[in-house]
Amino acid sequence: MKHLLLINAHQFFENISSGKLNHTMADIISEEMAKRGYEVRQTNIESGYDIDSEVKNHVWADLIILQSPVFWFGSPWIYKKYIDEVFTAGMFQGSFLTGDGRTREDPSKQYGSGGLMQGKKYMLSLTWNAPKEAFGDSDQDLFAGKTVEDVFVANTANYKFCGAEILPSFCCFNVMKAPEIEEDMARLRAHLIAL
């Protein structure tokens, strides 16, 4: 049986983000992956977590999916805190990496090649207020042709640094100004099937 760690990084903000969409998406991910033979463990960061248990969950998981709203072009701060705590514990325990890949004897080794998460996969599932057209188009001023993967490299780099493969992200766009929730849910299911 395969193992999925599903991390919900939603953070409540009055009149902006109640969490309904992210919780619904997390439920769909859990349901769809269970249908495909995955045992699912879910962490809702806002509800609290135990750092050592989260390290163990990462070691246990074959696939890790982050479900997150995008606040000011990144995940909510509670996710950064979670990563800092869990990855630092995983580093000190020797569970996530053996160093950065380089050694004093050979500092020319590839930086970021000391990870122990080889064989694991990581995927982003994000809800954006930004429209899809804002990405991958050099005529757009803000991102100037950058993709979602480019914009979220600070999020995925820690997993890649530890050896995990980064899967193509899933995004719901324009969720506040022109939501297409039913279509997004169908696209999410199709994205998970394609994994």
CA 51 – CA 13 distance, rounded (Å): 24
Instruction: Kindly report the number of other CB atoms within 10 A of residue 86's CB atom.
Output: 24
pLDDT in tens, 158-174: 999 899 999 999 999 98
**pLDDT value, residue 12:** 67
* Residue 10 amino acid letter: H
Per the structure block, which two tokens stand in for 61? 């998981």
**pLDDT value, residue 67:** 96
CA 70 – CA 156 distance, rounded (Å): 14
Q: How far is CA 127 from CA 66, 161, 181, in A?
A: 11, 25, 11
* Residue 45 amino acid letter: I
> Which helix (H) or strand (E) is 6 found in, with range?
strand 2-8
Its pTM surpasses 0.85: yes
Residue 177 carries which DSSP code? T
**pLDDT value, residue 16:** 65
pLDDT in tens, 11-28: 766 666 666 889 999 999
pLDDT in tens, 60-94: 999 999 999 988 898 999 999 999 999 999 999 99
Contacts of 47 (CB under 8 A, 6+ apart): none
Identify the CA nearest to 75 among candidates 88, 66, 84, 65: 66
Of these ranges, 2-6, 98-102, 108-112, 150-154, the one predicted with the greatest mean pLDDT is 2-6
- Residue entry with tokens 């619904």: 24
- Residue entry with tokens 């999916």: 65
Identify the CA nearest to 191 among candidates 66, 70, 34, 32: 32
Contacts of 27 (CB under 8 A, 6+ apart): none
CA 160 – CA 130 distance, rounded (Å): 26
Per the structure block, which two tokens stand in for 154? 């600070």
Share of the chain above pLDDT 70, in %: 94
Residue 50 has pLDDT above 90, yes or no: yes
